[in-house]
Amino acid sequence: MNRNTNDKKDQPSRVPFYIQLVNDMIDNIDKNIYKPGEKLPSIRHMSEARGLSIMTVLKAYQELLSRGYIVSRPQSGYYVIGNQTADDLQKHIRLSTPRHVEMPDMTRLVLLDSSNEALVPLGSGVPSESLLPLNRLTRITTRLLQSHQVPLHITGNAEGCANLRIQLAKHMFLSNTPAKADDIIVTSGCNESIFIAFSVTCNPGDLVAVESPCYFGTLQILQELGLRAIEIPVEKENGIDVEILKTALEQNPIKAIFVNSNCNNPLGSIIPEAKKKMLAELTEKYNVPLIEDDSIGDLYFGRIRPGTIKSYDKKGLVLYCSSFSKVLAPAYRVGWIVPGKYKNQVIQFKHALNLSTSPLLQESIAAYLEDGAFERQMRKARQAYFQKILQMGDCIRDTFPEDTVISSPKGGIFLWVTLSPKIDTVLLYHDARAKGISIAPGRMFSIHDTYSNCLRLNAAFYTPEIKTVFYMLGSLIRKYE
């Protein structure tokens, strides 16, 4: 069965064949049909028995590896671990030691790589230029300038332009998150929203709980604010581990929680609705504010836009942060925050920080949203990124060592890749960069060395034409082994 015939079956609206096989295998393991320690059928045998391509079976086995159901033994095959999943195993991890955040210089280097045209920017967080409505936004901005509708001699106010806040309220309604225009404060990107959220809820030296792995931009913010962090592991499919978070809240004076709720960066996971409700209830029980990053949520791969933790917030303790940087125009730097009970503090801080976000760019985004083109653009982007994620995943399986484990994103533009424990991806970064390739080493996503053998890759730039880049990476990885 060739790859082209499988592509249509892998659309977001249907369960891919490899996931069907994964579900069947898990059911057999749970029913003890395949017992702990028992060897699974070889990939070729399973392929022939189920009428699936070898790549589909390999993808299913890799998924079972990542979930902790099976283990790979070189030159031998795949064996059942037992009925415990990776998520169950994580519950036995002891809480990490709280510590001040000190991000490596590597973070700045990777960010600089994003604008280096001599490099293939697989380590960047930049979306695909071809999937952004840049020409349309440019025409809107030009029209606003020519019509003199936006005064250029004033800075605007800290809350943001009324037109944009109205459109944002409508936008949030589609994610089942009621918000009045007056509840919303416009910011210069999601990072500014998160920076302000931590600034108004914490003081230097305070302890905050963050998911692990965690977006390195958030860790940089914690460093600049002089905050300490305790890491809470993320269940690969379902987001932050609520039980471990609850234990951390009981045992530590945590002043704020940070969660990337939808299309997690770097894993691509989406927190289920039931768990989002549990997180909102935890904030109420312990009276601890929760900062929700939903900046990539519009790039989900399913049929329905996932909801938010904010939608379950009854006491104004959830500070919702988002932006259009990944989906409309990174250079516009237009984001927003719904700060709940912290609204007045956020307005004061925003005013002191930079007075306001550019009114011209705010009005441009507002006009684009009002035009009704946003959802059409998003449908195109979601489908394209879904295919890029699948294609780059297949490419990695073709070119990297067999024991490589790849995440299964439910949205977004990133793949999280786990290599052999022997591999140090910081060393890999330097060697790859010398060959014109930039990657994001796993150490950037933790305050500890937890992910030294991991890396984040950006699928936004993937095309079949750059497969040679992955052969080079695979060759470098094997050199370390």
And the tokens for 360? 């011209």
Q: What is the CATH number of domain 101-130+376-480?
A: 3.90.1150.10
Q: 10-16: which pairs have CB atoms within 8 A and are 24 or more residues apart? A: 10/390, 11/386, 12/301, 12/302, 12/303, 12/382, 12/383, 12/386, 13/303
| Band of pLDDT at residue 142, cut at 50, 70 and 90 | very high
Stretch(es) of the chain classified as CATH 3.90.1150.10: 101-130+376-480
Q: Determine the Cα–Cα distance for residues 415 and 406; give it in Å rounded to an integer.
A: 7
Whether the pLDDT of residue 84 is over 60: the answer is no
Q: Which pLDDT value is given to residue 364?
A: 96
261 compared with 92, residue with greater pLDDT: 261
On the question of a cis peptide bond just before residue 213, with omega within 30 degrees of 0, the verdict is yes
pLDDT at 74: 55
- The mean pLDDT value of the chain amounts to 89
* Per-residue pLDDT tens digits for 344-354: 999 999 999 99
pLDDT value of residue 88 = 42
What pLDDT, on the 0 to 100 scale, is given for residue 10?
Answer: 41
Q: How far apart are CA 431 and CA 436, in angstroms?
A: 9
Fold (CATH) for 3-84: Arc Repressor Mutant, subunit A (1.10.10)
For position 15, what pLDDT does the model report?
62
Location of each CATH 1.10.10.10 domain in the chain: 3-84
Please give the average per-residue pLDDT across 184-211, as a whole number: 97
**Predicted confidence band of residue 11 (pLDDT cuts 50, 70, 90):** very low
Evaluate if residue 132 carries a pLDDT over 90.
Answer: yes
pLDDT band at 58 (very low <50, low <70, confident <90, very high): confident
pLDDT at residue 158 above 90? yes
Quick: pLDDT tens for 172-181.
998 889 999 9
Q: For domain 153-373, give the fold.
A: Aspartate Aminotransferase; domain 2 (3.40.640)
Of the candidate ranges 11-20, 384-393, 471-480, the one whose mean pLDDT is the lowest: 11-20
pLDDT for residue 66: 65
Strands (E), 193-334: 207-212, 228-235, 239-240, 254-260, 290-293, 318-323
Q: Is the pLDDT of residue 91 over 90?
A: no
For residue 102, give both structure tokens.
């000190």
Q: What is the pLDDT of residue 80?
A: 86
The contacts found for 125-130 with CB under 8 angstroms, 24 or more apart, are 125/265, 125/326, 125/413, 125/414, 125/458, 126/330, 126/458, 126/460, 127/326, 127/327, 127/330, 127/381, 127/413, 127/460, 128/384, 128/385, 128/388, 128/413, 128/460, 128/461
Q: Report pLDDT for 32.
A: 81
Domain with CATH 3.40.640.10 in the chain: 153-373
Cβ neighbours of 69 (radius 10 Å): 24
